[in-house]
Amino acid sequence: MRRTARLTAVLSASLLVGGLAACGSGDEEPAAAGSSSGGASAAAFPVTVEHIWGETTIEEAPERVVALGVTDSDPLLALGVVPVAVQPFSFYAETGVGPWAEEYLDGAELTVLDPTAEVSVEEVAALDPDLIVGISAGFDETVYEQLSQVAPTLVRPEGTAAYGVGRDDATRMIAQALGKEAEGEELIETANAAFDDAVAANPQFQGATGAVLLPFSGVYGAYLPADARGQIMDQLGFAVPEGILAEDTGESFYVELSTERLDLADGDVLVVLTDEASAPVVEADAVLQGLPVVTAGGLVLPDADLRGAMSYNTVLSAPFAVEQLSPLLVDALAATGS
């Protein structure tokens, strides 16, 4: 039980190192930290956003936004709003955002809240926000109620799990709260078009099978379609191997595989997300290296930038992920003859 809980923390809260290259869209110039740029009409307000714990009303265009969701800063920045503070994944503790989003900061320095700490309501209140965004976060309803006493607070939609909100839904919620729904739809269309174009250019992707694994302490987490990395592969046309899907209990975003059960990950390609610590372990894993997909040349090892973009799967990171991952998948499928 302890190992499973620890693995869940790594898979969800820590994810992987990575991120790179701005791949945004939209014509708006980045705003100064803590301000919103044009595009939001005063007539759009007040707006009411529904979510898992009720609804939140924003009376006027926000100017001081705190992003407590680990990926919520990306759609905010893409919509021209630089948050006053962010609580990102721990591997972005210095910059606060992935490298693909840095140009949207326009040189502004963010207040970066401790990624490893629980949400501090007092610390958030001291930032004097007029909107708190926690869509891609894991705090509970009690914390939500406390934050709502500070400022209007957005959380994940009904029917979703913590850290499990899809790219389109998260973007729409944030765009609605900012009074920029049309701009949000444009961002969604641009990101989705990147996938459509990749699949059109590579019809061999459609129907191929490919697992995405994260090694951890002698086991592997195999991501399911509900996870960001699973969604990237799914939208590119790849299916999770049936053996992994059969292990899905519906209670998590991954399936834990021991080394002895890695045969379930065999397919047309195999994507393994490593870092400096885990790469030697994967290289030395005789079972993984002996899988038919690996011996045939179908192993894909994304670099840190691509791993980060896949883990984020936002309107800013997704186009970069598609651009970088597609040629690797083309080569892997060619090697395996799929």
Distances (CA, A) of 194 to 25, 211, 216, 221, 311: 12, 21, 31, 27, 17
**What element of type H or E holds 256?**
strand 254-258
Can you read off the two tokens belonging to residue 83? 């948050």
Confirm if 66 and 133 have CB atoms less than 8 A apart. yes
Look at the pTM and tell me if it is higher than 0.75.
yes
| pLDDT (0 to 100) of residue 16 | 35
Please compute Rg for the chain using Cα positions.
Answer: 20
| pLDDT (0 to 100) of residue 276 | 87
Helical segments of the chain, H only = 2-9, 73-78, 121-126, 141-148, 167-177, 181-201, 228-235, 242-245, 279-284, 286-289, 292-295, 304-312, 317-336
> Structural domains in the chain?
27-194 (3.40.50.1980), 202-336 (3.40.50.1980)
* Sheet containing 85-86, strands listed edge to edge, beginning at the edge strand earlier in sequence: 111-112, 85-86, 65-67, 131-134, 153-155
Query: How would you class 118 by CB atoms within 10 Å of its CB: exposed for 0-12, middle for 13-18, buried for 19 or more?
Result: exposed
| pLDDT (0 to 100) of residue 41 | 64
Residue carrying the six token digits 């007092």:
122
| pLDDT (0 to 100) of residue 62 | 96
Strand partners, 108: none
Distance CA 306, CA 100 (A): 10
Supply φ then ψ for residue 263, to 5 degrees. -60, -25
| pLDDT (0 to 100) of residue 320 | 92
How many alpha carbons lie under 13 Å from residue 218 in its C-beta half-sphere? 2
| pLDDT (0 to 100) of residue 37 | 44
Residue carrying the six token digits 């006493």:
149
Confirm if 319 and 236 have CB atoms less than 8 A apart. no
Q: How many residues does the chain have?
A: 338
Name residues of the chain where pLDDT drops below 70: 1-41
| pLDDT (0 to 100) of residue 40 | 64
| pLDDT (0 to 100) of residue 18 | 33
Confirm if 298 and 335 have CB atoms less than 8 A apart. yes
Distance CA 92, CA 87 (A): 9
Cα 115 from chain centre: 15
Strand-pair category, 219-223 with 210-216: antiparallel
